[in-house]
Structure 1
Amino acid sequence: MVLGIYPILWAIHYMFYDYKGYGEKLFVGLANFGRLWRDDLFWNAVGNTLIYAGGKIAITIPLSLVLAVILNRKIPGRNLLRAIYFMPTVISTAVISVVFFIIFNSYNGLLNQFLQKFGLLSGSVEWLGPKYAMLTVIIVAIWGAIGNYMLLFLAGLQSIPEDLYESASIDGANAAQKFWYVTVPLLGPVMQMIILLAITVSLKGYESIMVLTEGGPIGKTDVMFLYVYKLLFPVSTGSVFIQEIGYGSAVGFATAIIVGLITCFYFVISRRMNKIY
């Protein structure tokens, strides 16, 4: 408990100071928040976070559900397929990101080589360049998350009694009708939990982006928690960021408030889902 509370109190204390990790601590009151309000880099990171989280959730949740429905059936090798799809969840994010960096590298990446070999590309595509960088990091995030949500959906599907499907079949329901009127409503509680988990994880995610792009190019993939990290721990000696403990703490606090507000908004929507299901 102490290890959880102390860092929060430490950050709250420092967000009222101008402190760069060394030298004198200068009390500035709410000046860090005034600076944050005018900080274009922060608001760019907020916008990128919403795009990143929205794209990841919009694709991962439906795809995970479809995979869970398919792998819940008695098909050959389904246990092996479940293990394969779940594997990215237990692999280090840093390792996964390095592998995908090799795949998506603009000049000698495996993807460009593969597409050029089969005549699908005439030249190299900058997958980590300004045009495609956000799409690339979303694809990597989907690949890493889909197995975890698929497993949770599988647990929900296996809790649905087979009698309900048999009754629906007797009433003349086809496969699509059984899915929409039996499976989806009964998965309501599980889906609420999965969506909440997906929202919080996606809004806080930055590790793979840090390895793949460091928030670049030109801030195209900079997200909130990566921005906080770069303020508190500049990622390299060539970074434009310098260590700013005070301002970084203020940005971290504002970021936590934004995540909390989005989560509260989801809880309001979730209550309406409870009435439906």
Structure 2
Amino acid sequence: MAMAKWMRLRENSLFLLPSIVLTLALGIYPLIWVLRYMFYDYPGYGSELFVGLDNFRRLARDTQFWESVRNTFVFAGGKLLLTIPLSLLLAVILNGKLRGRNFLRAIYFMPTVISTAVISVVFYIIFNSYNGMVNQLLLKYHLIGEPIDWLGPKHAMLTVILVAVWGAIGNYMLLFLAGLQSIPQDLYESASIDGANARQRFWHITVPMLGPVMQMIIMLAIIASLKGYESIMVMTEGGPIGKTEVMYLYLYKLLFPVSTGSPVDQQIGYGSAVGFATAVIVGAITALYYWFSRRMNKVF
């Protein structure tokens, strides 16, 4: 009996070994590396200089970082306010008896599997101020008198939010569809017999029954929105004049300045401190939402 237990333990350990090794190599070791270097002045080459809390003192005075925090909340808030309702609306429409609904589901989900860099380049061309498709259409139908600088200081944040919504809406639509298809149809039939119309069935059956799924979707959307930066890096590089620079893009420029064309030198030590602060901010927002959602569950 003891031998059988030992054999089972050894087999289970062998199955878990690849996951443990990958977690240690790609998760735990980089975390330890970051926690160490945020107390050093290290440019990525040469010697390391221990500076204690100087990186965090610099972070507290770094107006560019705090501006990126503000931009992150604007970007994430705008994306969430548009993505969640539109995803739910599309899911409800495509869950009905609509001709070609499977084709439409595939079309709306397609942006999720396309490279973010490719999507961003395409939309950069579409929103081009001089010969972009958006301005050409608006001018053709006399909706504007002159081309709009969609990637300028005034409209750049709105533009990157719209692109982010277009890229994310299909993913959350699919999750909402899974939730809708798990709702028993008997509830809708009973409500129809009692005289409930489509609007009443939606608010009193669909929305409450989607509660657990919606909580998960909103949490995933919050994390993805706060961490998103790829499309912004391709379309605006955080500009103009820092209007679209978000936390993770600012961090990326500190760690990989050559790839982004940033004029500053590589700053591994300060970048580690910024990365730690960024992770704390994202974790705090996520924990706050989790606490709030659990409180709402107890209330309702």
Query: What TM-score do you get using the length of structure 2 for normalisation?
Result: 0.90
Partner of 2:153: 130
Partner of 1:187: 210
Report deviation, 1:276.
5.0
Alpha-carbon distance in structure 1 between the residues aligned to 2:190 and 2:144 = 52
User: What does the per-residue CA deviation read over 1:128-153, in whole Å, with 9 as the maximum and x for residues that have no partner?
Assistant: 00000000000000000000000000
Which amino acid in structure 2 is aligned with residue 227 of structure 1? Y
Cα contact 1:188–1:273 (8 A) shared by 2: no
Alpha-carbon distance in structure 1 between the residues aligned to 2:88 and 2:265 = 43
Cα contact 1:107–1:124 (8 A) shared by 2: yes
Kindly report which structure 2 residues correspond to 1:48-127, keeping only aligned pairs within 5 A, or say none. 48-127=71-150
Partner of 2:285: 262
Partner of 1:253: 276
After TM superposition, the structure 1 stretch with the greater mean CA deviation from structure 2, 234-243 or 157-166, is 234-243
| Structure 1 runs, 4 residues or longer, greater than 6 Å off | none
Select which of 13, 20, 25 maps to 2:43: 20
Which amino acid in structure 2 is aligned with residue 51 of structure 1? V
The answer on 1:222 being equivalent to 2:245 is yes
Alpha-carbon distance in structure 2 between the residues aligned to 1:107 and 1:71 = 37
Query: What TM-score do you get using the length of structure 1 for normalisation?
Result: 0.97
Cα contact 1:60–1:146 (8 A) shared by 2: yes
- Greater Cα radius of gyration, structure 1 or 2: 2
Partner of 2:5: none
Alpha-carbon distance in structure 1 between the residues aligned to 2:234 and 2:69 = 19
Report deviation, 1:8.
1.0
Q: Does the C-alpha gap of structure 1 residues 238 and 190 become closer, same or farther in structure 2, counting only changes over 3 Å? A: closer
Select which of 42, 59, 82 maps to 1:36: 59
Q: Does the C-alpha gap of structure 1 residues 92 and 237 become closer, same or farther in structure 2, counting only changes over 3 Å? A: closer
Which amino acid in structure 2 is aligned with residue 254 of structure 1? A
Alpha-carbon distance in structure 1 between the residues aligned to 2:261 and 2:122 = 24
Report deviation, 1:235.
4.9
Partner of 2:184: 161
Q: Secondary structure at the match of 1:167?
A: helix
Partner of 2:28: 5
Alpha-carbon distance in structure 2 between the residues aligned to 1:276 and 1:179 = 21
Alpha-carbon distance in structure 2 between the residues aligned to 1:237 and 1:98 = 15
The answer on 1:274 being equivalent to 2:297 is yes
Alpha-carbon distance in structure 2 between the residues aligned to 1:5 and 1:144 = 31
Which amino acid in structure 2 is aligned with residue 274 of structure 1? N
Partner of 1:241: 264
Query: Structure 2: any 5+ residue segments left out of the alignment?
Result: 1-22
Alpha-carbon distance in structure 2 between the residues aligned to 1:120 and 1:226 = 34
Partner of 1:174: 197
Alpha-carbon distance in structure 2 between the residues aligned to 1:110 and 1:259 = 36
Which amino acid in structure 1 is aligned with residue 183 of structure 2? I
Which amino acid in structure 2 is aligned with residue 15 of structure 1? M
Q: Secondary structure at the match of 1:75?
A: coil
How many residues were matched structurally?
277
Query: Structure 1: any 5+ residue segments left out of the alignment?
Result: none
Alpha-carbon distance in structure 2 between the residues aligned to 1:88 and 1:237 = 24
Which amino acid in structure 1 is aligned with residue 69 of structure 2? V
Identity of aligned residues (%): 74
Cα contact 1:86–1:147 (8 A) shared by 2: yes
Alpha-carbon distance in structure 1 between the residues aligned to 2:121 and 2:244 = 17
Q: Secondary structure at the match of 2:47?
A: coil
